[in-house]
A and B are shown apart, each in its own frame.
Chain A
């Protein structure tokens, strides 16, 4: 009952559409090798590394071409560190991940098995080629007089920080507040005291105080953005809040633009040493045939050029000579590590960030 012409034209048309779709699917899902002389890799990174990796990518592409004659294109995807880990677990085909938190890469290893669980042992310095810390950004003239972590807990101070559930920076922020309070309660030897049963009573009191202060700080938080970038926007563009806690590198990089925006930097006397790790996703690079270039890319971060680019972008390089060379760029402050104060990230996540842990108890919207 159907005229043959209509049917056949549809028969001709539909397969064409389907073939088109299949071609599209094909081109985007096949390997990272576009031929012998061109290779493509994807770096899934966190929010505040855009400028840094733009420079790294350009420098690495040039070095790789000189070494192998091959052109390499490095694609970037940026979002909150936790969001990125979730995307990779859901199938974002990143060759390398350069995230804010080791725990996020652990999650990838555990849930998606794209890399071995001991990935952190594979590169020097626990796979962290650069480090940073946290600092404050306040309104011009620092009208609220914010200098220490405790100041954030004062009544009437609006604090802008991202959501620890999705943002790596936010977890560093949280631990920096907590650790900062422990430091001021227990004094300069606080890391040692935390381990020492002799001081158990003082430690317990300090922990209680840290919890109370942290809770008060988060009561001062009007908005939890998903990533550090969103928080910076909230603070600068939307003009919300009295103080923004953010990556030192992001704040220092903003430099003169920040002056224009009518904000200024405050460095707390003590802060946390944040070590954003990098890793190659074995399952992805093996399938796409990009292991060699992805490995070289990560090694490049430790090279002299890579370390200098890091320093120029206000990441603290791990190579001592280069850190020395650029030391004038970084404010001098006392840094504590997650290991010494919180017993490592696994423990910190268990106590503070997993469902129902201290953050959930503290922050009830």
Chain B
């Protein structure tokens, strides 16, 4: 049990009618790993991720997340994971504090812990002056940081991040990755999709999805070696071009 991977995927497939969005992908993510899940728009990243977090039923294949089968034990999976979606998804008409209390409450955190966590979170993000401001009024970068922290509230073993830094300025992006590393150092597994190839370099391993298939999966350095290029960006372009 101890050596079980955090995420174990075998021949996972999702079809929408005739269209194969995810075509029999298989991979493993180890505990505490920062795993980059790359691919062009429409390559099937988000669909694959939705199956892993238990809100979309696989057409066929198996996936175990935190030791639970996503098909049969979706609710147990949900208890062990955190998720931050591509679409900003905190409540705009609630304050930062209220959002934290609400989501924490739904995950069943006891009152004392909720209070503690809220305080710690506000301290950590330096949002004292804004804790009671409606989320609507915050800049996007702050919102994303709050959303990330909310996804961490219940101490999940694995965190799924769907393009967490889309539309955010470089400085905030950097801060964001610092937060990601801090969590990884605590042993949390990170599963992240991104468009930014420089961010791919920060990952322990990356997979590149093209048209529903995983075309490559390795550490960034080994991938660059294999394709004999200098950056992840070029790796990505090469793979995408091969398909066309």
Do these two chains really belong together in a complex? Answer: no
